[in-house]
């Protein structure tokens, strides 16, 4: 008798009835093994897919691997044809795939994927549709794994392009500064306090990028007494002629429908500028001047530097960053540690680089105090405008590496060096100093005849020449009045506190020549001033805040001189890019009325912000209300209805004109 090895019984047979096309009914029988159900393949906990059975896995927490080389993973069960996924743990958009090149009983060799960056990765093996998570490690991808150690040197590496090292490239850990030797090799005696090492990108080279962020730095993760190798891969380009877009205060915080305004307004505009410049064969870069975010809303709105970084990747060029006071952690009451998240997401808070023949320096001049800040609780976010001693010493070392003192220096920092200029009784421009250690800062540039300081912070536009060799350019804000005037239901414009349109500055560099021009969002490049017919500028609640229920005196506090009708046939001209080498002229028929520089409020900003806030019976925020500016000019016409020709000439000889037909309407939509 045949033995039933399958242990089936009558219960295991299931009757299945099928109806055929011939009208016959067939009884089909299927069988199951109820005592021993078929096991399901295990699932990988991380991917949810069918798991590959890899055992005895051992991956070091830190691995140094050579470009175009192999790395070994200990483990049993690898097969030929397996692939390894390298998923970045710091940037979810970064992923690489490597092939298993050889296997043994206890390990597998994986070919390093082309373009693999030094980073922390989760490693996953795939085999068809099956996967298995192997673990995580920090990978340091090096050009030359055989650089000898040197006594006292804790960081070493190579700066290279293609297969060759590059000589005389500056490398720094934020304290020590050195140059590469003839083979591109460098050494630094670093205590690793700054937690990173960075290359001062030489002119006519670029570094690798993640999204829009240049990878000019490497994070230090080993103990202070352990030697680390960090290389920098460069690509040779021609950027002797280049453009830098200076982007002041973006304040992205997921409020005031700022993301929508940013994307539909600024992002569209800046990408068009980039495309137009690149189409002419010119390299374009961007330099954010701080306050990219708004730490007040990091935790409240869950919108901080990672979310900002995602938005920046939509800008079609490389972006260098400057830390602002609002880019520090409000839960931390310590200058150094409050910038930890910034360093993790965007890199060092101070560094240098070169484009063509221009040397760029980025500084952190915010000493963040944040009294009362603690885990889970924001402090009062106070700060000093200061370059701390350690950073100042680094600046001097960095500048000492610039051998050709005729090299133009472009320095970026967030808080202004000089305060908003005013006018003396004789009509001359005057300004006070904001930076607390400005004398030492300015002295650091002795011997350099062409220094330009780019700042933000104020949400207004002005220029101050501290000397014949050093000039500050304070850039108005991309967000204008913190996105208020463009908020849904408000003025539907972007205007800063001094009447400057929201925008950015286009810096054109060719060799050692520098030129600059302000670019207003959603306007052509030649839009450089706005003219008011003051006969039509009368700011009243009835006209500009009909729902206001407060007192007349309170309204007048914001409307200022414009609360009273002006019938003197005067015109007011706001020239936001003005510096003392510009010229403003007005012509009425065959006459040229006198043009006087004045220090007054911009009336369009008043009706675009303060009046709109009063209209909903809210108190305008003191920091956001209109600010007097000295880039204003007045002229008196002979007639209230004559057409005026306004001619503005900038320091580079560019002429901008308006044929001003009067009366000219005064509305939030005017230009």
What one-character-per-residue DSSP string does 84-104 give? EEEEESS-TT-EEEEEEEEE-
Cβ–Cβ < 8 Å for 403, 393: no
Delimiting residues of CATH 3.60.21.10 domain(s) in the chain: 238-520
What percentage of the chain reaches a pLDDT higher than 70?
93
pLDDT in tens, 317-343: 999 999 999 999 999 999 999 999 999
Q: Which is nearest to 605 in space by CA: 532, 521, 548, 515?
A: 532
What is the distance, to the nearest Å, from the Cα of residue 393 to the centroid of all Cα atoms in its chain?
26
Closest by CA position to 12, among listed 34, 40, 29: 34
Secondary structure letter of residue 67 according to DSSP: T
**Strand order from edge to edge, sheet including 170-172:** 177-179, 170-172, 196-199, 217-219
CA distance linking residue 492 with residue 171, whole number of Å: 47
With beta carbons less than 8 A apart as the criterion, state whether 495 and 605 touch. yes
- Tell me how many degrees the CA angle 451-454-456 measures, rounded to the nearest 5: 160
Tokens read off for 3: 């033995």
Give the pair of three-digit tokens for residue 135.
């673990």
CB-CB contact of 349 with 390 (8 Å): no
Closest CA to 545 of 535, 557, 531, 534: 557
Element (H, E) at 136: strand 130-142
Q: Tell me: the pLDDT tens digits for 414-435?
A: 999 999 999 999 999 999 999 9
- Exposed/middle/buried for residue 404 (C-beta within 10 Å: 0-12, 13-18, 19+): exposed
Distances (CA, A) of 494 to 255, 450, 478, 537: 15, 33, 9, 19
Give CA–CA dist 584/607, Å, rounded. Answer: 26
Measured from the Cβ of residue 193, the count of other Cβ atoms closer than 10 Å reads 12
Handedness of CA 66, 72, 73, 77 (dihedral sign): positive
Helix, strand, coil percentages in the chain from 3-state DSSP, rounded to 5: 15, 35, 50
> Does residue 663 contact residue 641 with C-beta atoms inside 8 Å?
yes
Residues 6+ apart with CB under 8 A from 484: 256, 490, 609, 612, 613, 624
CA 388 to CA 209: how far, in whole Å? Answer: 29
Instruction: Write down the pLDDT at residue 326.
Output: 98
The pLDDT assigned to 49 comes to 63
Give the DSSP letter of residue 324.
Answer: -
Give the DSSP letter of residue 51.
B
Fold that domain 238-520 belongs to in CATH? Purple Acid Phosphatase; chain A, domain 2 (3.60.21)
> What was the pLDDT predicted at 146?
84
Residue ranges of the chain with per-residue pLDDT less than 50: 1-35, 40
**Residue in 404, 351, 485 with CA at minimum distance from that of residue 168:** 404
- SS3 sequence of 481-535: CCCCCCCCCCCCCCECCCCCECEEEEEEEECCEEEEEEEECCCCCCCCCEEEECC
Bond preceding residue 20 cis, omega within 30 of 0? no
Where does CATH 2.60.40.10 sit in the chain?
55-142
- Report whether CATH 2.60.40.10 matches the domain 55-142: yes
By three-state DSSP, how is residue 28 classified? strand
The tokens of 560 are what? 């200022």
Q: Across the strands, what pairs with 50?
A: 43
Closest CA to 473 of 487, 463, 484, 481: 463
Alpha carbon 575 to chain centroid, angstroms:
27
The pair phi, psi for residue 491, each rounded to 5°, is -85, -10
Q: Write out pLDDT tens, residues 207-264.
A: 999 999 999 999 998 899 999 999 999 999 999 999 999 999 999 999 999 999 999 9
Query: How far, in Å, are 239, 361, 378 from residue 205 at the CA level?
Result: 8, 16, 42
**Which residues, including other chains, have CB under 8 Å from residue 652's CB and lie 6 or more apart?**
515
Q: In this predicted structure, what is the pLDDT of residue 439? A: 97
Q: What are phi and psi of 636, to 5 degrees?
A: -110, 125
How far apart, in Å, are the Cα atoms of 526 and each of 518, 520, 529? Answer: 9, 9, 9
Indicate the SS3 state at residue 335. Answer: helix
Report whether 414 contacts 246 (CB < 8 A).
no
**Tokens at 224, concatenated:** 């202070």
CA dihedral 584, 588, 590, 591 (to 10 degrees): -60
C-beta of residue 632 within 8 angstroms of C-beta of residue 460: no
Q: Looking at the chain, which residues constitute the CATH 2.60.40.1120 domain(s)? A: 154-235
Q: Which fold has domain 154-235?
A: Immunoglobulin-like (2.60.40)
CA distance 381 to 329: 9
Summary count for the chain: helices (H), strands (E): 11, 44
Burial class of residue 125, CB neighbours in 10 A (0-12, 13-18, 19+): buried
Q: Do β-strands 55-58 and 70-76 pair in parallel, antiparallel, or remain unpaired?
A: antiparallel
Closest CA to 496 of 510, 511, 486: 486
Q: Of 398, 410, 546, whose CA–CA distance to 472 is shortest?
A: 410
| CA–CA distance, 296 with 327 (Å, rounded to integer) | 10
d(CA 252, CA 289): 14
Query: How does pLDDT run across 94-126, given as a tens digit for each residue?
Result: 899 999 999 999 999 999 998 888 889 999 999
Angle in degrees, CA 618, 614, 554, rounded to 5:
100
> How far is 405 from 594, CA to CA, in rounded Å?
43
For residue 261, the 8-state DSSP code is: H
Q: What is the pLDDT of residue 347?
A: 96
């Amino acid at each position: 008798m045949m033995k039933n090895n399958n242990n089936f019984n009558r219960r295991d047979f299931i009757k299945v009835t099928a109806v055929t096309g011939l009208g016959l009914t067939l009884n089909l029988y299927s069988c199951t093994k109820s005592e021993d159900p078929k096991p399901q393949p295990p699932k990988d906990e991380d991917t949810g897919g069918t798991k590959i059975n890899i055992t005895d896995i051992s991956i070091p927490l830190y691995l140094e691997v050579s470009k175009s080389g192999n790395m070994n993973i200990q483990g049993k069960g690898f097969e030929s044809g397996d692939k390894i996924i390298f998923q970045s743990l710091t940037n979810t958009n970064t992923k690489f795939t490597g092939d298993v090149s050889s296997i043994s009983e206890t390990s597998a060799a994986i070919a390093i994927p082309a373009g693999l960056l030094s980073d922390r990765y989760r490693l996953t093996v795939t085999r068809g549709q099956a996967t298995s998570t192997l673990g995580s490690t920090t990978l340091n991808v090096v050009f030359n794994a055989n650089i000898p150690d040197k006594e006292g040197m804790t960081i070493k590496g190579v700066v290279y392009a293609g297969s060759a090292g590059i000589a005389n490239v500056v490398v720094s850990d934020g304290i020590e500064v050195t140059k590469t030797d003839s083979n591109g090799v460098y050494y630094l005696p670093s205590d690793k306090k700054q937690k990173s090492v960075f290359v001062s990108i030489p002119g006519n080279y670029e570094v690798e990028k993640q999204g829009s962020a240049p990878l000019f730095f490497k994070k230090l993760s080993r103990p202070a007494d352990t030697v680390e190798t960090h290389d920098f891969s460069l690509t040779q380009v021609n950027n002797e002629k280049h453009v830098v877009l200076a982007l002041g205060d973006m304040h992205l915080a997921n409020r005031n429908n700022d993301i929508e305004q940013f994307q539909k307004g600024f992002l569209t505009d800046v990408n068009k500028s980039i495309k137009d410049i690149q189409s002419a064969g010119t390299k374009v870069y961007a330099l954010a001047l701080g306050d990219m975010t708004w730490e007040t809303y990091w935790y409240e709105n869950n919108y901080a530097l990672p979310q900002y970084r995602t938005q920046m990747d939509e800008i079609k060029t490389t972006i260098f960053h400057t830390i602002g006071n609002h880019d520090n952690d409000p839960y931390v009451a310590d200058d150094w540690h409050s910038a930890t998240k910034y360093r993790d997401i965007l890199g060092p808070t101070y560094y240098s680089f070169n484009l063509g023949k221009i040397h760029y320096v980025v500084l952190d001049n915010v000493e963040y105090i944040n009294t009362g800040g603690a885990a889970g609780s924001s402090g009062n976010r106070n700060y000093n405008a200061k370059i701390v001693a350690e950073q100042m010493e680094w600046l001097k070392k960095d500048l000492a590496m610039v051998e050709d003192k005729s090299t133009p220096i472009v320095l970026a920092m967030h808080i202004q060096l000089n305060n908003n200029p005013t006018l003396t009784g004789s009509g001359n421009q005057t300004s006070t100093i904001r930076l607390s250690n400005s004398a030492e800062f300015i002295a650091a540039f002795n011997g350099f005849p062409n220094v330009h300081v780019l700042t933000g912070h104020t949400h207004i536009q002005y220029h101050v020449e501290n000397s014949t060799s050093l000039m500050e350019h304070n850039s108005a804000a991309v967000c204008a009045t913190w996105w208020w005037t463009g908020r849904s239901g408000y003025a539907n414009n972007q205007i800063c506190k001094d009447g400057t349109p929201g925008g950015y500055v286009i810096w054109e560099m060719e060799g050692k020549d520098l030129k600059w021009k302000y670019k207003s969002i959603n306007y052509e490049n030649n839009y450089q001033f706005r003219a008011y017919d003051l006969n039509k500028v009368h700011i009243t609640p009835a006209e500009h805040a009909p729902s206001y229920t407060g007192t007349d005196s309170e309204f007048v506090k914001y409307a200022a001189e414009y609360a009273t009708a002006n019938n003197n046939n005067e015109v007011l001209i706001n020239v936001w890019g003005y510096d003392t080498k510009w010229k403003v002229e007005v012509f009425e028929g065959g006459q040229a009325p006198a043009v006087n520089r004045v220090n007054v409020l911009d009336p369009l900003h008043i009706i675009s912000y303060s009046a709109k806030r009063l209209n909903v019976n809210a108190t305008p925020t003191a920091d956001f209300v209109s600010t007097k500016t000295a880039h204003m000019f007045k002229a008196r016409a002979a007639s209230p209805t004559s057409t005026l020709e306004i001619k503005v000439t900038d320091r580079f000889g560019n002429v901008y004109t308006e044929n001003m037909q009067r009366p000219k309407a005064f509305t939030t939509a005017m230009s």
